[in-house]
Structure 1
Amino acid sequence: MKYLVKNNEQLRTPMFFVSKLWLIKILLSTLLITFSSCDDSINPLKPNVNLTITVEVPKEGDQIGRFARNAMALHDGKVWSIGGDNDLGGGIFLHNISWFSLNGANWEPTTQNDIGDERIGHTLTTFQNKLWLIGGENNAGDWLGDIWSSTDGMNWTNVFSTAPFGKVAHHDTIVFNGKMYVVAVNTTTGYMEVWSTQDGLNWVEETANAFPGRITHKAVVHNNTIYVIGGEKTANNKLNEIWQSTNGSIWSQVATNAPIFSERNHHTATAYNGKVWVLGGRTINGFGNDIWYSSNMKDWEKHSGLYVDDDNLHHHTALNYKDAIWIFGGYNKNGITGQIVSLKEN
């Protein structure tokens, strides 16, 4: 079984920046959409759930520019972003810069950036009052096995050059019941491995064959259970499976009911307001701009067209932040975007 990591070179094309957008406020019976932007914004939407949506389009002076495929986490009252694609300085390039924001919209680079290779497909996780950067794929297409930690996001310690679980990329990392878990494919066996740690230094293999292998899946904790959602098993074989575990060792597939989101990867899955929300991604038919949500992981409801101009969004990041889902960057139908969207259920 061969796992393919897509560099998406067709996405690495300089895009024209739209410097002026128009502000529209639309009030509907079940949906209030509010746009707040450094520039003006336009956003026609299709409402069917009661949400407040705020769109931010940061100015170039906000420094982070347009970005995608980065890893993000909340730590020490700040939003942190590392790696991924960025278009600062012209063109789109892979970087290893660490950024932070006090409000999710205005960004500053850190003064210390010694965190190894430029990378995509990595994870950034808050655990034991530290930030943990794990694995990824570098500019040469090599998978990485390094682990870095930082208490302040500025100064980083190389904990492992190669982690006990080896090289991982396009995996996911989750914190659950006092442990940090890495859920990643073993490219030799073709199965998913799950490793856990209580301190970031000592790692235990929970299982070597949790379920059939995949990459670019998403893990989320909901109702005291770890769920792994979607991903890509092999080239062009995308999944909409959901797997669950209450201990990281024993896994079972969730018996979902129709309708459910289509097969996809490069999506996001976020636990928010008693539900899990699956947003966008690359689907079997191209790209998605849909939002699906569920409180029990078996029955799903759809909300379509929540993105600006009905853009198809993928390679973005989502965080539960300030009592809302914040969606950062990604690629849409016009290329890389610096747009930041928050979704708040009323």
Structure 2
Amino acid sequence: MFRTIPMCIACALFLTPLTNAAGSEPQTAASPDAKPQYQWVNVTQSAAYAPRDGAGALVFKDKMWLLGGWNPSDKVHFPMICNNEVWSSRDGATWSLVKPNTFLDKHFDPTRDWEGRHTAGYAVYQDKMWIVGGDANQGHIHNDVWNSTDGKNWNLVNKERDVPWGPRVLHYTFVFQDKIWILGGQTMPGFAEPRKEVFYRDAWTTTDGVKWQQVTPEEPYWSPRGMIGGSVVFKDRIWVLGGGTYDTPTTPTRNFYNDVWSSADGVHWKQHTAAAPWAPRQYHDVAVFDDKMWVMEGYYNQDGGNRNDVWYSADGVHWVEVPDTPWAPRHASSVFVYDNALWMVAGNNMQRDVWKLIRVPGAR
């Protein structure tokens, strides 16, 4: 069954960016005649899906697709902490339930459908949507790979053959040079077996989800990390923008980063800045929009935790902040680049809001 909700009246906020270079102080005000560049539009405050964070966000067949998610306080829609619903939308206001949640209890068969999960690996590749690995909320780490051509019917790609890079969660997933890549991540000994703590600093690639090739970066390169939502492949390079590590019983202090790295092959890396002007963060989202790299929201254990700042850069060194974000601070949102806009959907604010950022017509 498909469920829909009508569009609400959109509201807009015109924004003039404040420019920051790495290590410099932000401008305190824009010039009086500065022309706004971007505009936030509130598409709806009451989307049809239940509030959630960590849901997969893919653009496929001219639609936005929302996959799974986490909300342990909602036992109706998330009876097992996470669910495996799939929603789609062409306009961000009307969302259709393509695949109802089947992850209802311990009798679930994980070979017939994917277990509910959040902050997994998500990609569009070879005309399919892909889910690569998952989380540790069920007392085990997902080592499976699934794909689908319609969002309703899903194929277990690696049945009876766990991925060779497991166990890991919170990995960074993207498509580059006609391959699916995963990078970084960690084990979660406080949540699931194995109880051995590992923070990964490697990468793996595949063309079919079954056979994987390890990529070993050469020094210097990024420190062990994950917790980066979305992906940035820009100017024929992989980009790592911030990220961090989750706490474990052995290492109870999380790491938060705001460094910027890129690579043309996954082996040789360049550090563009050791400290971008945006605060260190994890569970943030990154994207490529309007020929720029974007860093949005996230979590930092200072300055109130959840964030709602939005930054962009054309080179990874010089960053511009879009001020006065109208949506609530959050982390683990679902971000789309779709229909000439950058979309902010759901997240740890646990609301059903949908926003999009558009370029103001005629702006520089």
Match of 2:96 among 91, 108, 113: 108
2:306 alignment counterpart: 287
Question: Does the alignment pair 1:247 with 2:265?
Answer: yes
Bigger relative contact order, structure 1 or 2 (CA pairs below 8 A, ≥6 apart): 2
Superimposed CA distance per residue, residues 161-190 of structure 1 (whole angstroms, 9 cap, x where no aligned partner) = 521222331112111121111113355663
1:344 alignment counterpart: 358
Question: Does the alignment pair 1:195 with 2:191?
Answer: no
Match of 2:148 among 129, 147, 150: 150
Letter of the 1:149 partner, please give it: N
Question: Does the alignment pair 1:204 with 2:213?
Answer: yes
Question: Does the alignment pair 1:78 with 2:78?
Answer: no
Question: Does the alignment pair 1:97 with 2:85?
Answer: yes
SS at match of 2:223: coil
Match of 1:315 among 316, 320, 332: 332
Question: Does the alignment pair 1:236 with 2:254?
Answer: yes
Identity %: 27
Question: Does the alignment pair 1:182 with 2:146?
Answer: no
Report how far residue 73 of structure 1 moved: 0.5
Over 3 Å counting, the alpha-carbon distance change for 1:123 and 1:186 in structure 2 is closer
Q: Is the 8 A contact 2:68 2:84 kept in 1?
A: yes
Letter of the 2:63 partner, please give it: K
Distance of 2:11 and 2:240 partners within structure 1? 37
Q: Is the 8 A contact 1:197 1:204 kept in 2?
A: yes
After superposition, residues 122-161 of structure 1 pair within 5 angstroms as 122-161=120-159
Q: Is the 8 A contact 2:260 2:276 kept in 1?
A: no
SS at match of 1:117: coil
Over 3 Å counting, the alpha-carbon distance change for 1:263 and 1:25 in structure 2 is closer
Distance of 1:156 and 1:25 partners within structure 2? 38
1:169 alignment counterpart: 169
Distance of 1:24 and 1:202 partners within structure 2? 48
Superimposed CA distance per residue, residues 283-321 of structure 1 (whole angstroms, 9 cap, x where no aligned partner) = 23122211111100011122233133xx21211121111
Distance of 2:65 and 2:326 partners within structure 1? 23
Letter of the 2:346 partner, please give it: G
Q: Is the 8 A contact 1:293 1:302 kept in 2?
A: yes
Unaligned runs of 5+ in 2: 1-7, 18-28, 103-111, 188-196, 248-252
Question: TM-score, normalising length from structure 1?
Answer: 0.78
Letter of the 2:314 partner, please give it: S
Report how far residue 341 of structure 1 moved: 0.6
Distance of 1:228 and 1:115 partners within structure 2? 31
Q: Which moved further from structure 2: 179-188 or 118-127?
A: 179-188
2:3 alignment counterpart: none
Over 3 Å counting, the alpha-carbon distance change for 1:79 and 1:259 in structure 2 is closer
Over 3 Å counting, the alpha-carbon distance change for 1:90 and 1:176 in structure 2 is closer
Report how far residue 24 of structure 1 moved: 5.6
User: How many aligned positions are there?
Assistant: 303
Output the aligned Cα RMSD.
2.9
Letter of the 1:222 partner, please give it: F
Over 3 Å counting, the alpha-carbon distance change for 1:138 and 1:97 in structure 2 is farther
Q: Is the 8 A contact 2:131 2:146 kept in 1?
A: yes
Match of 2:49 among 34, 43, 64: 64
SS at match of 1:95: strand
Letter of the 1:276 partner, please give it: M
Distance of 1:104 and 1:23 partners within structure 2? 11
Question: Does the alignment pair 1:216 with 2:227?
Answer: yes
Question: TM-score, normalising length from structure 2?
Answer: 0.75
